[in-house]
Structure 1
Amino acid sequence: MPALDLPRLIAHRGLSARAPENTLAAVRAAHAAGIIWVELDVQLLGDGTPVIWHDRDVSRCSDGRGRLAAMDLAAARRLDTGAWFAPAFVGERMATLDAMLVLIAELGMGVNLELKVNRGHDPVALAEAAVPTLMEALPYERRLVSSFDERALRVSRALAGPERLALGALFDRVPRDWQSRTEALQAVSVHANWKPLKAERARAIKAAGHALVCYTANDPAAFGPRWDWGVDAVISDDPTRFR
């Protein structure tokens, strides 16, 4: 499979320390700060539209309430998704996957797109809606699909072989059978919660030929020893702190 040259620093949900997460504004902020890759979440509205959003509902990051799966695009676009963060972002709207990918392409950035499968959501429908759109918008070397949901990753792999689509296996605690699960997906990378990750497991991942991505680290000093374990990239709310 082709090599995927990940940068060391990836902005979590865009530059979410400085702009509302998973918005166009957060991606613009990352770009302005010199961060060339972002990690974003995608899921489906009730009408099947892929949107950039993390939670199952909209209450935490908008001025509305209700489940994402109960909304159509018109309802979702009426939400203000910036005012909760700061007055400067009043009027920010929920981004569709299409709009986000247009921006990322225009800025020459890369994206780790997480297929976010919240309770009651269909991983097959999500992968079938999001992955072809991503593949059409960006070249191989500027896109990576990850998920905690192996069903979503299996469908993604069925849509495109490893020479056309890079996959990342996403874990909280990397399990003992990580290698068989990762290799079954022909994944290029393993994505691990940085806090429970152990040096022995990190080095085994690297020895097996996978890229190792850690999330979500915001303390460069505490994270520091993990670079010596072979970590390739860190996902952070404010990756500029790691410079």
Structure 2
Amino acid sequence: MKRTGIVFSIICVAMSMFAMPVMAAKGEVSMREQQQIVNVAHRGASAHAPENTMAAFHKGVEMKADYVEIDVQMTKDGELVLIHDTTVDRTTDGTGKVSDYTLEEIRQLDAGSWFGEEFSGEKVPTFEEMLDAFRGKTGILVELKAPELYPGIEEKVAEALKERNMDHTANGKIVIQSFNHESVKKSKELLPELPHAVLAGMSWADVSMEELNEFASYADYFNPNMNIVTPELVDMVHTAGLEIYPYTSRSQEQAYHLFDLNVDGIVTDYPEHVYHHPVKNQ
């Protein structure tokens, strides 16, 4: 009986040794599949900290997002600041247009208390402040917000990147995007080595192959509202040689759905959702 037990143990050990590489390989495939989806923290990890603040950007990096998405606007005195709305009302304790504030004035506002007491005193960051803090630590998806309101914003963004030697593709992940496609064209002329993206709202649900090919002449991404994304649209975007990062996923189910559509990246308020999607072909 002892001899039989020993033989059985040897067989089990041998079997487990053969099984281990198979299990590891399966795990490696799973990780590769997950890494294929680019994880973009929308306005930073904005479900966990007040959007477009240093706290949200730090949280996005902490949560290992591939990119942090930011919104760039311009103050009355021509300084670049990060805020989504063209007014300060929703995300600060101030009122009025961003363009009516000088940098000194907008920096006096509280941009965190609306989200939670623990973020009291968060400031509206400058573009340069964000670049200096996160260059080399994460990708940065730079949205030119309402550039038609801020003549010269493309040049100022380009200048800030060039000053930091961040205008070359080899120096890190920087992508410029806007809903204003003429602004994207202008930025591409100023920063020809950097990838650019066209943002697309609901009105682009019936985008044509011809239009996508036109976008591909100056952009690298077509980033639409997630509600217009279909398998057909994804195929068309890929046929045009573009990648597609839909916005904005705010639930695990939405992230699963986008993953199943074979998009290249997901813009989300919850970076953790993109790491929890099911693995394909398993």
Q: TM-score, normalised by structure 1?
A: 0.89
Opposite residue 216 of structure 2, the aligned amino acid is E
> 1:206·1:230 contact (CA, 8 Å) conserved in 2?
no
- Secondary structure of the corresponding residue to residue 98 of structure 1: helix
How far apart, CA to CA, are the structure 2 residues paired with 1:7 and 1:144? 16
Within a 5 Å distance, the mapping from 1:106-125 to structure 2 comes to 108-117=137-146, 121-122=149-150, 124-125=151-152
How far apart, CA to CA, are the structure 2 residues paired with 1:219 and 1:61? 22
For the pair 1:52 / 2:78, whether they are aligned, the reply is no
- Secondary structure of the corresponding residue to residue 244 of structure 2: strand
Opposite residue 224 of structure 2, the aligned amino acid is A
> 2:255·2:266 contact (CA, 8 Å) conserved in 1?
no
For the pair 1:129 / 2:156, whether they are aligned, the reply is yes
How far apart, CA to CA, are the structure 1 residues paired with 2:37 and 2:163? 22
Q: Residue deviations 1:45-99, cap 9 Å, x none? A: 1111011111111010011111111111110111011111111111111100000
Q: How many residues align?
A: 233
Q: CA deviation at 1:7?
A: 5.6
Q: CA deviation at 1:131?
A: 2.5
Within a 5 Å distance, the mapping from 1:87-236 to structure 2 comes to 87-105=117-135, 108-117=137-146, 121-122=149-150, 124-137=151-164, 138=166, 139-140=168-169, 141-161=172-192, 164-173=193-202, 174=204, 175-176=207-208, 177-185=210-218, 187-236=219-268
- The residue that corresponds to 1:83 in the other structure is 113
- Return closer, same or farther for 1:101/1:38 CA change in 2, 3 Å cut-off: same
Q: Equivalent of 2:272, from 200, 219, 240?
A: 240
> 2:258·2:266 contact (CA, 8 Å) conserved in 1?
no
- Secondary structure of the corresponding residue to residue 152 of structure 2: helix
Q: Determine which structure has greater relative contact order: mean sequence separation of CA pairs < 8 Å that are 6+ residues apart, divided by chain length.
A: 1
Opposite residue 201 of structure 1, the aligned amino acid is L
Report which of the two structures shows the higher radius of gyration computed on alpha carbons: 2
Opposite residue 159 of structure 1, the aligned amino acid is L
- Return closer, same or farther for 1:168/1:90 CA change in 2, 3 Å cut-off: same
Opposite residue 229 of structure 2, the aligned amino acid is L
Q: CA RMSD in A?
A: 1.9
Opposite residue 183 of structure 1, the aligned amino acid is A
Which structure is higher in helix share? 2
> 1:126·1:152 contact (CA, 8 Å) conserved in 2?
no
> 2:92·2:111 contact (CA, 8 Å) conserved in 1?
yes
Q: Residue deviations 1:104-147, cap 9 Å, x none? A: 116x11111000016x603x411111123134433524100000
- Percent identical: 28
Q: CA deviation at 1:213?
A: 0.5
- The residue that corresponds to 1:67 in the other structure is 97
Which structure is higher in strand share? 1
Q: CA deviation at 1:209?
A: 1.7
Opposite residue 272 of structure 2, the aligned amino acid is T
Show structure 1 runs of 5+ residues with no match: none
Q: CA deviation at 1:155?
A: 1.2
> 2:144·2:178 contact (CA, 8 Å) conserved in 1?
yes
Q: CA deviation at 1:12?
A: 0.3
